[in-house]
Amino acid sequence: MNTEKKSYAENLKDLRTNLETMLPKEALNVFDTDAENLQLNHQSILKLQIGEKAPGFSLSNATDKTIKLSDLLKKRKVVLAFYRGSWCPYCNVQLAHYQSSLAEIHALGAEFVAISPQTPDESLNIKEKNELNFEVLSDNGNIVAKKYTTIFKNADAPVNTMTELGFDFDAHYSDDSRELPIPAVFIIEKDATVSFAKSLGGDYRNRVEVSEIINALKK
């Protein structure tokens, strides 16, 4: 999919058109209802606010190398995005959307890092599928995510519908908690202070536009 120079909203529109042709209407309704329920049930998402210090972490990347936030911050500020997994079409569109502006993010003195609870193998999968040139880290058990964003247990309805469609949700993770982070984006300055923190709520179909990240980095 070509996400070059498109907004996330434009990419989302394309994705919805594709999903409506690819998925049975009943299945798409289950996923949409799930997203709407999450939006209603989770209002206050962020655990970390602008001006606070970002908690440090050491996590495995897609090739099982340990990446430390403190090491990254010695060189550049860090844009940190929490996402659900490689099985989530909205996550794939979001990360590809950010990849299309990665050169500009780097030019503004920042590194981009994405974090999910899935295994390093699945992190490698999403990297290769979307040709991502940034670190994709594995946060098993959402230990780091819990300090930044809200964690919830994926409901039975979407998981069962995924199974019916031939997707094994649990195979992407090394535990069976079915806990996922609500997508959120943070900018962490070199002194570890948070200068940008945003989530669009529990409805995972909506994501932070890369233009907002770029504008925040320019300030």
Is the C-alpha dihedral spanning 41, 114, 133, 99 positive or negative? positive
Of 130, 85, 134, 141, the residue nearest 112 (C-alpha): 134
* Catalytic-role residue among 38, 48, 78, 91: 91
**DSSP sequence for 162-178:** HHHTT--GGGGSSSS--
Q: How far apart are CA 126 and CA 78, in angstroms?
A: 20
Q: Would residue 91 show up in a list of annotated catalytic residues for this protein?
A: yes
- Extended strands (E) in the chain: 58-60, 66-68, 77-82, 110-116, 135-138, 151-153, 179-181, 184-188, 194-198
Q: How far apart are CA 59 and CA 135, in angstroms?
A: 10
Of 133, 94, 130, the residue nearest 112 (C-alpha): 133
Tokens 């098993």 correspond to 140
Q: How far apart are CA 211 and CA 35, in angstroms?
A: 24
Burial class (CB in 10 A: 0-12, 13-18, 19+), 170: middle
Contacts of residue 104, Cβ cutoff 8 Å, sequence gap at least 6: 214
Catalytic positions: 91
